[in-house]
Amino acid sequence: MLTVGDKLPAFDLKAVVSTDPKTAFTDISDRSNGGKWRVIFFWPKDFTFVCPTEIAAFGKLNGDFADRDAVIYGVSTDSEFVHLAWRQNHPDLKALPFAMLADIKRELSSAFGILDKQEGVALRATFIVDPEGVIRFVSVNDLSVGRNPQEVLRVLDALQTDELCPCNWQKGDAVLKPAA
């Protein structure tokens, strides 16, 4: 599995950005949104129970991430057509403000090293990638446990200070200063 300090792997995937079939599809690559922070989170399968709770929670925080010059990409091993159908049919996903990437060939999931060995789907993995394409945060949950997007935002805030941030640090709190 890729970890902190590794480079974002090259990728070029189809993505869904709306519920309108005429404008829903676009291409997203590792070069998209260059110069921005990227939050890339994976979920196992569309049309499941835990996944939409996380996806909707990231969607509600999209403006907060954008305020920090970060773009969110959600990824699963489902096709772009499955993503579109899910967005069209799930009330919490209809107005989703970020792209859902289709890793149907499992290329990106494999490159990150986050395919579940038993199920063959992406684990609940989250990566924060800095503007230079370096992974700065990694978190992976069991398939049955949803993650906390608010914590991902907190870590992004801490990384962007480029300072020493103590346990439970929140944006605006004092940072640690090493002894001189």
Catalytic position from the list 39, 40, 51, 84: 51
Contact 140, 114 (CB under 8 A): yes
Strand order in the sheet with 135-141: 25-29, 12-16, 99-102, 70-76, 37-42, 124-129, 135-141
Query: Any residues with CB less than 8 A from the CB of 6 and at least 6 apart, and which?
Result: 134, 135
> Quick check: helix, strand or coil at residue 63?
helix
**Sign of the torsion formed by the C-alpha atoms of 88, 94, 99 and 104:** negative
The question of whether 51 is a catalytic residue gets the answer yes
Q: Indicate which residues carry an active-site annotation.
A: 51
